[in-house]
A = this chain, B = another copy of it.
């Protein structure tokens, strides 16, 4: 048996596998993705694969912890946290995603939701991991709403409940968009949500 074609780069390999897996899980789903497909796509032999990820579940957990969580962090938590107000942060994110999906050909949905739907019921460790991401997401938005209220920028809204509504409607609309392969659901949902949010930020926005 031959020793050719071997490159020692443990971290690169782990990362490559995780990327390929994140992609495949997002697009085709966890159960519908075969380990062998990932091996082939990542150009990794069975032995190397197994060395880094002994089981499919561990790979799934790694992807959730290091890719899905990061996607929520960079796609939602950071933009909202760094925005002047929750309203503006949410607006930026929503409208950015709508623009992105307009340009793309295929809508694969919200990665967190995709994984959550399929895996939450199967494994408890996975479930609690996904739970944690939802919590962080919700917390970040709720904190921002709370800050806005404290600053007198927003009124008449329950920070945590509104955060839940924002996330839920985003997730649900993405699911509809994925099913329809059309951004309209997301756009319509955002139009209405936007109108609602504006009423709570009425004063500061009006005089702009």
Chain A residues in the interface with B (C-beta under 8 A): 1, 8, 10, 27-29, 31-32, 108-109, 113-114, 116-118, 120-122, 127, 130-131, 134, 157-158, 160-162, 164-165, 167-173, 175-176, 178-181, 185, 188-189, 191-193, 195-196, 199
Task: Indicate which residue in B116, B158, B165 contacts A179 across the interface (CB closer than 8 Å).
Answer: B116
Interface of A is mostly: helix
Kindly name the residue among A8, A173, A181, A189 whose own CB sees the greatest number of chain B CB atoms within 10 A.
Answer: A189
Distance of A79 from chain B, by nearest CB (Å) = 19
Copies of this chain present in the complex amount to 4
Contact indicator B1/A120 (Cβ below 8 Å):
no
Residue of B nearest to A182 (CB): B131
Question: How many angstroms from the CA of A188 to the CA of B179 in the assembled complex?
Answer: 26
Residue of B nearest to A27 (CB): B121
Contact indicator B116/A192 (Cβ below 8 Å):
no
Distance of A3 from chain B, by nearest CB (Å) = 14
Question: How many angstroms from the CA of A196 to the CA of B161 in the assembled complex?
Answer: 11
Contact indicator A29/B121 (Cβ below 8 Å):
yes
Question: How many angstroms from the CA of A158 to the CA of B196 in the assembled complex?
Answer: 11
Question: How many angstroms from the CA of A185 to the CA of B113 in the assembled complex?
Answer: 14
Q: Which residues of B contact A114 (CB under 8 A)?
A: 117
